[in-house]
Structure formats: structure tokens, C-alpha cells
Amino acid sequence: MRTPARSRYSRVGAGWRVGAVAVAALCAGLAAGPAHALFADDEARRAILDLRARLDAQRQALEAAEQRLQELLTGGEAARRGVLDVANQLEALRRELAELRGQQERLARDVADVQRQQRDALAAFDERLRALEPLKVTLDGAEFSARPEEKAAFEAAMAALRASDFARAAQLYGELLARYPGSGYTPAALYWQGNAHYAARNYRAAIESYQRLLDQHPRHVRAPEAMLAIASCQVELKDIKAARATWQALVQRYPDSEAAAAARERLARLR
């Protein structure tokens, strides 16, 4: 005949075994490699809370069994058989409790791994997304948006110019202008391309770049300087008449600019 204590422990043991099977299935799912990525945080947290509730239930059952054991130890011969049963149940409960604790620790580690993988994946995604997002650029007093590769192309051309590799710089500016015809870098690229050609003594190509800047962006902050540079190219080409006309046009078109002041000075020296 089963004692009340044994019935209670049997019910607890049955519940415990069901819980253990659920936890084992959950942990097996977590250990399935790629399935980690599909394991949601909320589900993991619920599993941990369920596991903790079962641990508490087992702990309470263990305490009740120990109490019952003490009661039986104080009884007679008939009670000693009950003592043996309760002792066996206590040992089984201790083993199951230890196993449950181990499963809880493994589950906590698995959840931490999933969270770390999710953070790493999100950080990598954000980094890739930022690499594709347009950038805010301020250049020569103008603000515009540019793609990262567009900005990199302009900076590569500027680096070549600063390194005095004028032919390479002119080529890189040309590639930028061809690849991004509507770029916010266009007026600056035309101006610096003209300077690169000028430094390479390619005066006619320089005039062409400066003139494109004047035609397409006549109100750009670099336009007066481009016009002054055209006159300098014309001087280098020994076309003083054309240079004089350019300086005069510069004074007329951009009278308040520093380039116009320089043009006036050069016109005065010609007299």
C-alpha cells in the first residue's frame, strides 16, 4: 500500500519527468547548430522561468521528503520500510535536481550564445547598411549627398593631386565626372582637374575643364578663380589678347571677387 508521502512524491516525479523531457527537447533544439539563430529570446526566457519554477517545486518536494524521513526515523519497525522508500526517493530527487541544474546552466549558456550571435549579426548588418547610405558632404560652402564610393573617388583624385601626380589626378577627376555626371562634386572636380592639367602644362585641357565649370556652374564659388586660371593658361599659350579679354570679362562678371582684383592688377601691368 502506497503511503501519502509516496503518492505525493510520485506525482512530483511524474511532473518532473515531463518537465525534464520538455527541457531536454528544448536544449536539443538549441544544440542543433543553425537552429540557434531561430531561437527567440522570449522563448528562451520563458524556458528559463519554467525551469526555475520546476527547480523550486523539486526543492520543496525534497524538503518535504526530508521532513517525512525524520518523522519515520522516530517511528517503529513498520516505519523503517517507509524510511527506505523515502530515502530512495530522496536520492532520486537529488540526482534529478542536479541534472536539472546542469540543464539550466547549459540553457543559460545557449541563450547567451544566441544573444551574442544576434548582436554580432546586427552589428555586421548595420555596418554594411552604413556603407551603402548616402553621406552628407560640405564642400566649397555647398552641402550635398554623396554615395560612399563617390566620395572615395573624389578623395583619391585629391590625394593624387597633393602627391603631385598631376596626370593621374586629372585622369581620376575625369573618371569621377564620367561615372557621376550629376554629382555634387562636379564643380570642384572640374576646377581641380583644370589645376591638375595646368600643373602638367596641359593648358588647353585646363581651359576646357575651367570653361566647363563656368558653363555648368557660373555661380559656384570657384568660378572667378577658374576664369582667372583660364587667363593664366592663355598667357602660357602666348595669347595675350585672349588673356586680356578674359581678365576684362572676369572683372565685369565677378567684380567683388578676389580673382577680379587680381585681374585688375594684371590689366594695369599691361598698360
- CATH number at 135-269: 1.25.40.10
Residue 271 pLDDT? 73
Worst-scoring range by mean pLDDT, 24-33, 114-123, 247-256?
24-33
Q: Model-level pTM?
A: 0.57
Return the closest-CA partner of residue 18 out of 8, 26, 29: 26
Mean pLDDT computed over 132-140: 90
55-84 mean pLDDT: 77
Across-strand partners of 146? 135
Write down the pLDDT at residue 52.
Answer: 82
Confidence class for position 157, pLDDT limits 50, 70, 90: very high
Question: Percent of the chain having pLDDT more than 70?
Answer: 82
How much is the average pLDDT of 68-75?
72
Whether pLDDT at 37 is above 60: no
The stretch 118-145 carries a mean pLDDT of 88
DSSP state of 212: H
Mean predicted confidence (pLDDT) in 16-26: 44
pLDDT the model gives residue 78: 67
Residue 77's pLDDT is: 66
8 Å CB contact between 47 and 106: no
Please give the grid coordinates belonging to residue 46. Answer: 520563458
**Nearest residue to 267 (alpha-carbon basis) of 239, 233, 244:** 244
**Mean pLDDT, the chain, as a whole number?**
84
In this structure, of 20-34, 72-86, 253-267, the range with the lowest mean pLDDT score is 20-34
| Bigger pLDDT: 12 vs 209 | 209
| pLDDT at residue 75, as a whole number | 66
Residue predicted with more confidence, 161 or 56:
161
Cα–Cα dist 66/97, whole Å: 15
Per-residue model confidence (pLDDT) at position 32: 44
Per-residue confidence (pLDDT) for residue 51, from 0 to 100: 79
Range 63-68 average pLDDT: 81
pLDDT at 76: 62
pLDDT, mean of residues 19-41: 46
- State the pLDDT at residue 210: 98
Share of the chain above pLDDT 90, in %: 51
Distance between CA atoms of 50 and 31, rounded to whole angstroms? 19
186: left (phi over 0), alpha (psi -120 to 50) or beta: alpha
* pLDDT in the model for residue 9: 41
Question: Stretch 189-198: mean pLDDT, rounded?
Answer: 98
Residue written as cell 602638367?
200
Mean pLDDT for the stretch of residues 159-185:
97
CA 47 to chain centre: 31
Q: What is the pLDDT of residue 84?
A: 81
Does residue 4 carry a pLDDT above 70? no
Any idea where the domains of the chain sit in the sequence? 53-133, 135-269
Between 240 and 45, the higher pLDDT residue: 240
Side-chain-side CA neighbours of residue 76 (13 Å): 1
Q: What are the distances in angstroms from CA 148 to CA 72, 119, 122, 135, 152?
A: 80, 25, 21, 7, 6
